Amino acid sequence: MWVHNSAAATGVVHETVMVGLGASVRVRPTLFLVGEITPRVGGYVAGDPEYGFGLAKRVGGHVFDLTFTNTTQGTTFAQMARGGFPKSLHLGFNLARKFF
């Protein structure tokens, strides 16, 4: 992933290149251990790499996720490029509908 001007608030144009890596491991027939990390491989480095891990439970056509991440509201590429916060962990919950 490439982000142009990932440090817009500083007034200096920075380019950032990141690689998203993720995995899922089946623990029980409907329970999965999930994880991801997004290290920056070049450009602007402001904080720690963003990472997350959690449990995913499949119930019928729904998937419930309980997640822990070192970032709060990283929803845009620029927010992910700035990285996570050291020594912090945030609890999250997701509900998804999957059509099999």
Give the pLDDT score at 25: 96
| pLDDT tens, residue by residue, 20-56 | 899 999 999 999 999 988 887 877 666 677 888 999 9
What domain range includes position 36? Answer: 2-97
Which tokens hold the place of 41? 């491989």
| Residue 81: φ, ψ to 5° | -65, -30
d(CA 67, CA 59): 17
Which tokens hold the place of 18? 């990141």
pLDDT band at 88 (very low <50, low <70, confident <90, very high): confident
Identify the three-state secondary structure at position 69: strand
Angle at 71 between CA 52 and CA 80, to 5 degrees: 95
| pLDDT tens, residue by residue, 4-14 | 766 666 666 77
- The number of domains in the chain is 1
Global confidence as pTM: 0.69
